[in-house]
Amino acid sequence: MAQWKDTARVLEFSAFARKGIEKVKVRGLGDHELPSHNSSTPDQVPVINLEDPNAMKLVGHACKTWGVFQVTNHGVPTNLLQQMEAAGRKLFALPMQQKLKAARSPNGVSGYGVARISAFFPKLMWSEGFTIVGSPYEHARKLWPNRYSRFCDVIEEYKEEMNKLAQKLMSLMLGSLGVTMEDVKWATTQRSCPALQLNSYPACPDPDRAMGLAAHTDSTLLTILHQNNTSGLQAHKEGTGWVTVPPIPGALVINVGDLLHILSNGLYPSVLHRAMVNRTQHRLSVAYLYGPPSNVEISPLSKLTDQVHPPLYRAVTWSEYLGTKAKHFNKALSSVRLCGPLNGFADTNDHNGVRVG
Ligand SMILES: O=C(O)CCC(=O)C(=O)O
């Protein structure tokens, strides 16, 4: 049943995209969620050269103040980024009936479908997605029965490189908090099961009346995002509002996720972000969703807590947290909070009233 609902929404999306927004009742998000125009603020998302001797300090500062930054000199070969982008383009260019052969199953996470956060929104988003958890073979074989191996090779190589970068970033992020990877045993001994999320945002005839991906935080430790050269990603910064994260050739965007928020006891707040659509350009992004091994309990690091700074969150595994997020969406972080903030204000992850749902 749920699969049919999902499939129906994809077909509906396809009809919507074909007919054009003028001929169909506009199903973008409501006025309160239209892009705010304060993204033309002088504030810019930090760009950090990972070969800079001060990289650790810069990463720490960016995590504290923004929760998002871009990295250059990250070690991921440029041609692999291009191959990944080409693989994504090839996938989304397939006929809808073909893509639906690899549709996400009712309770599954992998496969083709509408944005997974769609369930929390009454209106359709102007995007389609493909999620890969574990091996891509099963779904790729359905998409290209005779020619799937190239796609799979690119995915596997991409995941390998992303894993190396995620480890490097974790080490910088923890290091800037005075914590080593050895202090966090699972970080060095156990491998996690990350997900790869491919997103496609077709050109939209009336971009001010539609949303590519509504505002959300990621249920990860960190997310590494590659975007093509079409702008669309926006991050929310307290006191500033929505800020565009411009595509920089070869750079990767790093988001702090909810689990790092918990691990850092709120010192590194997870970032609220969304994707806008473009009138003429197709946009594509690939998100590497990195978390801990699924059975490991994540709680505020003991080095960061004391009597004055009590742990703000209870221990939670990644799989438990994903379940919580699937139920409570933007209230998930608050729902695992142990005590109110000492200053009496709302959890920063409640984003001070910014509407996400
Ligand atoms: O397309 C983007 O820039 C954002 C993607 C994203 O937020 C996600 O996949 O969760």
How many C-beta neighbours within 10 Å does residue 282 have? 16
Across the chain, mean pLDDT equals 86
Residue 201 near residue 272, CB atoms below 8 Å: no
**pLDDT exceeds 60 at position 241:** yes
199 CB under 6 A from ligand 1? Answer: yes
Convert the pLDDT of each residue in 314-329 to its tens digit. Answer: 999 999 999 999 999 9
**pLDDT exceeds 80 at position 84:** yes
> Coil, strand, or helix at residue 71?
strand
What is the C-alpha separation between 333 and 351, in angstroms, rounded? Answer: 11
- Domain definitions of the chain by residue range: 10-21+45-335
pLDDT at 122: 84
pLDDT at 196: 98
222-227 and 252-256 strand pairing = antiparallel
pLDDT at 347: 54
Convert the pLDDT of each residue in 101-158 to its tens digit. Answer: 999 998 888 999 998 888 888 888 999 999 999 999 999 999 999 999 999 999 999 9
Q: 42-63 in b/e burial notation, b at 16+ Cβ within 10 A? A: eeebbbbebeeeebbebbbebb
**Given the structure tokens 């998930």, which residue do they identify?**
332
Q: What is the mean pLDDT of residues 21-44?
A: 40
Q: What distance in angstroms lies between residue 344's CA and the mean position of ligand 1's atoms?
A: 32
197 CB under 6 A from ligand 1? Answer: yes
**pLDDT exceeds 50 at position 39:** no
Q: Which of 23-37, 89-103, 326-340 has the highest mean pLDDT?
A: 89-103
User: Atom of ligand 1 at shortest distance to CA of 232?
Assistant: 3
Share of the chain above pLDDT 70, in %: 83
pLDDT at 56: 98
Q: 354 to each of 12, 20, 66, 158, 318, how far by Cα in Å?
A: 29, 30, 16, 34, 25
Q: 205 to each of 97, 247, 279, 281, how far by Cα in Å?
A: 24, 22, 5, 10
Q: What is the mean pLDDT of residues 249-262?
A: 98
Q: What is the mean pLDDT of residues 318-347?
A: 82
241-244 and 213-216 strand pairing = unpaired
Indicate the pLDDT class of residue 182, thresholds 50, 70 and 90. confident
Residue 173 near residue 304, CB atoms below 8 Å: no
Indicate the pLDDT class of residue 35, thresholds 50, 70 and 90. very low
Residue 218 near residue 261, CB atoms below 8 Å: no
Which structure tokens are listed for 108?
A: 């599954």
pLDDT at 187: 83
**pLDDT exceeds 90 at position 28:** no
Q: What distance in angstroms lies between residue 340's CA and the mean position of ligand 1's atoms?
A: 30
In this structure, which residue's CA is closest to atom 4 in ligand 1? 275
Give φ, ψ of 250 to 5 degrees: 85, -15
Residue 112 near residue 17, CB atoms below 8 Å: no
Q: What distance in angstroms lies between residue 275's CA and the mean position of ligand 1's atoms?
A: 6
Mutation pick for ligand 1 pocket among 92, 223, 224, 225 (CB with most ligand atoms within 8 Å): 225
Q: What is the mean pLDDT of residues 180-207?
A: 90
Classified by CATH at the fold level, domain 10-21+45-335 comes out as Jelly Rolls (2.60.120)
Indicate the pLDDT class of residue 3, thresholds 50, 70 and 90. very low
Least confident of 71-85, 105-119, 278-292: 105-119
pLDDT at 124: 87
Which structure tokens are listed for 86?
A: 């080409």
230 CB under 6 A from ligand 1? Answer: no
116 CB under 6 A from ligand 1? Answer: no
pLDDT at 12: 52
Q: What residues are paired with 195 via a beta bridge?
A: 133, 289
What is the C-alpha separation between 203 and 278, in angstroms, rounded? Answer: 5
In this structure, which residue's CA is closest to atom 1 in ligand 1? 285
What is the C-alpha separation between 131 and 149, in angstroms, rounded? Answer: 17
DSSP conformation letters of 209-248:
G--SEEEE--SSSEEEEEE-SS--EEEEETTTEEEE----
Share of the chain above pLDDT 90, in %: 74
pLDDT at 315: 97
pLDDT at 340: 66
Give φ, ψ of 42 to 5 degrees: -65, -15
Q: What residues are labeled active site?
A: 283
How many C-beta neighbours within 10 Å does residue 16 have? 21
Burial zone of 122 (CB within 10 Å; 0-12 exposed, 13-18 middle, 19+ buried): exposed
